[in-house]
Structure 1
């Protein structure tokens, strides 16, 4: 979908339009409890919903934006995913949410509403394909599994579940970046220029969805990185519905490689540093194993804050989908965002910035191992390790949820092969 991981600069109002080119007018629009579904019928189906493919949005700021989603699916890669699905007679239902930072289980209620609506609107008896991008894959995974376990809910009538760079085993928000964001928000959250972006990004990192996705979370700069209680509660809820939908073929793709080759980000290196009007000798480092000071944060005329980690793997450089963020200067990465914020706070940023980092390790995207395990992160992935029935990984470590022919065509072929 090429939808960025987070959008700290974009609109926050429900259904707000963005700078993305306008999407084609949908053939139908379903107002759901907690969201909206935009329906695009295949030209082969004469304005009837015959073979529905439901594609869920994931984690980002505010409400889902159709223009942004369409751009990611059709116009921001080398593969026109909707058009290719249409050519096979599949109707595309793009599922969005009023609040993309709400809990996964809450937005799963909206996904269930969408599935029920698709079954009610469908002409004929063709099974559905249901899945999503990034956190959207977790939302629909839980929704389908719950529909199988809850006797009050109908049969989901789904044959294929698909996930696109979904954090099945957790996501990685660099602890150094989390700490800097919360630190800067505490100090300058009310500043007229940078304050709104700081508050927004800090709020997103502490949102229910982020707490559920992140394998390691801190609420403020001085906290010890750990699994948030909200994540533990979500994993328990997922386990209570069986973990996965059982009556479907489960497929998925990763925007990272399966060879174990990292993205080249050197463990322990300084990712970004600055000095200036508001920050003194402030720097963030790439995550390394063992005890490490990952950040030094100092407001001018104040004492420094050291951010320490212990026992974390070298995950910034791990194979997987890369952390990408849109900004006024163009798309940037995790530490690139920190550099932009440092500059907006009136500081001179060292030009040798290591801009990005891993966001969804490949083993997480294809449910093939524990991302807490340093060896598993960099181990080649084999089919028997995955909890999915079939998967494919990218030929290179690329931006999270980037739509490519390599991944998109594989999904389309898998959907068609089921019938």
Structure 2
């Protein structure tokens, strides 16, 4: 029987801060810096963003846990059209706060090489009307934002000229939101008229943010609250993070299991199973920013990355160890440890093949600490998650390093998928992914 992945914290008192003197708290706070809400991706400001032909304000068709989510769509029509004819809905992903649809356009339309049109321009040239779907709370429940996606789908069907089927999907959490929306409509007997679904580096099995960095985010906001009230762990504690992270922690001092520590994740998985798991009608495409060759970034498990060993303060954060019992991932001390964190039976996620996020890099920059370039980015969406390996989302990590090039068809919940040529940042646009995606849509 497999052992339950867990984390164990040792502290002199019930909380880290209560075991520290005021001057020690001040020292830690000054070292951790203040990068705002940790792990939030900054908006893309460089480049031109096309003005949408239409802007739709959207309200969810039903509440989830009392939340009636809202959002909007930027509709970019093929030249000469006044309404969608061949619609492609592209949903935004997980982040803090409202979607920046102009920034989303800039990001996904950035040419992957000189002289080649960006992805969105290529789609328009193919005769596809591009509808960028955003949410006012990207960190809200998947089910709540899926209800916004349902409203968007209905709006498209109401305004579409002709009867050409839809293409619907999204990046990151946007792929989960649209997956849920389409499956929910099918379960309710509603014809969504979608023939193709796509997910762009979507964490179908779960995403990963280093557990020790989650702990440091909670610690920092506790000892140095932000004046604007937005804590450093605001994104970590959000509903979407609880639902989509494979390992999630509720606080710095938490000890216990990490895969089902939030009831919101179990609830989302149960809801997905209730409505059919995946939508059945569409042909399902998956794009993964990670490599499919089973090789991840060069990150040796257990290696210290952030190591402040000078002076009286000692603060260490390590690359996630590979399995084992009570493997140290972090420590804080003044002469002797006042807080240590260790994991048991947790796989070596940081170095797994997948779409990356510069989690350690951002924290190091905020702390003013040097960091080797190879340690900046760790796995965020494992390749096996992005291609929806046919596994239970709570028990799959033993196969993080699977070679996906010769995978049998029944080994994934998707109909076709493409992995990038290397491990690139989550949501990055590359020649490999764009050309494969465009080819999949050609002739449709």
Which interval holds the TM-score relative to the shorter structure? 0.7 to 0.9
- 1:189, CA displacement in angstroms? 2.0
Residue of structure 2 in register with 1:210 after alignment: 241
Kept after mapping to 1: 8 A contact 2:305/2:318: yes
Stretch of structure 1 that moved more, 268-277 or 171-180: 268-277
Q: How does 1:300-311 map to 2 (within 5 A)?
A: 304-311=338-345
- 1:350, CA displacement in angstroms? 4.6
- Residues 1:399 and 2:422 aligned together: no
Residue of structure 2 in register with 1:390 after alignment: 416
- 1:164, CA displacement in angstroms? 0.4
Unaligned runs of 5+ in 2: 1-36, 60-69
Unaligned runs of 5+ in 1: 12-17, 324-332, 344-348
Q: Following the alignment from structure 1 to structure 2, what is the Cα–Cα distance between the partners of residues 9 and 412?
A: 26
Q: Following the alignment from structure 2 to structure 1, what is the Cα–Cα distance between the partners of residues 378 and 442?
A: 34
- 1:301, CA displacement in angstroms? 9.6
Secondary structure of 1:53 counterpart: strand
Residue of structure 2 in register with 1:144 after alignment: 182
Residue of structure 2 in register with 1:342 after alignment: 367
Kept after mapping to 2: 8 A contact 1:180/1:297: no
Kept after mapping to 2: 8 A contact 1:359/1:400: yes
Task: Give the 3 Å change call, closer, same or farther, for CA 65–283 of structure 1 in structure 2.
Answer: same
Provide Cα deviations, 1:183-232, integer angstroms capped at 9, x if missing partner. Answer: 11111124x6xx87xx4440100100000000110011121333221100
Residue of structure 2 in register with 1:168 after alignment: 204
Whose Rg is larger? Answer: 2
Residue of structure 1 in register with 2:33 after alignment: none
Q: Following the alignment from structure 2 to structure 1, what is the Cα–Cα distance between the partners of residues 300 and 207?
A: 19
* Alignment partner of 1:183 out of 215, 219, 233: 219
Kept after mapping to 1: 8 A contact 2:283/2:415: yes
Residue of structure 1 in register with 2:93 after alignment: 58
Stretch of structure 1 that moved more, 227-236 or 69-78: 69-78
- Residues 1:265 and 2:299 aligned together: yes
Task: Give the 3 Å change call, closer, same or farther, for CA 259–208 of structure 1 in structure 2.
Answer: same
TM-score, normalised with respect to structure 1: 0.86
Task: Give the 3 Å change call, closer, same or farther, for CA 6–19 of structure 1 in structure 2.
Answer: farther
- 1:53, CA displacement in angstroms? 0.2
Secondary structure of 2:329 counterpart: strand
Kept after mapping to 2: 8 A contact 1:20/1:67: no
Provide Cα deviations, 1:289-327, integer angstroms capped at 9, x if missing partner. Answer: 2121111134x699621111111001110001001xxxx
* Alignment partner of 2:381 out of 356, 360, 377: 360
- 1:368, CA displacement in angstroms? 1.2
- 1:408, CA displacement in angstroms? 1.5
TM-score, normalised with respect to structure 2: 0.81
Kept after mapping to 1: 8 A contact 2:174/2:202: yes
Q: Following the alignment from structure 2 to structure 1, what is the Cα–Cα distance between the partners of residues 231 and 159?
A: 38
Stretch of structure 1 that moved more, 72-81 or 45-54: 72-81
Secondary structure of 1:210 counterpart: helix
Q: Following the alignment from structure 2 to structure 1, what is the Cα–Cα distance between the partners of residues 433 and 232?
A: 30
Count of aligned positions: 384
Kept after mapping to 2: 8 A contact 1:218/1:226: no
Secondary structure of 1:105 counterpart: helix
Residue of structure 1 in register with 2:9 after alignment: none
Kept after mapping to 1: 8 A contact 2:111/2:119: no
Task: Give the 3 Å change call, closer, same or farther, for CA 81–96 of structure 1 in structure 2.
Answer: same
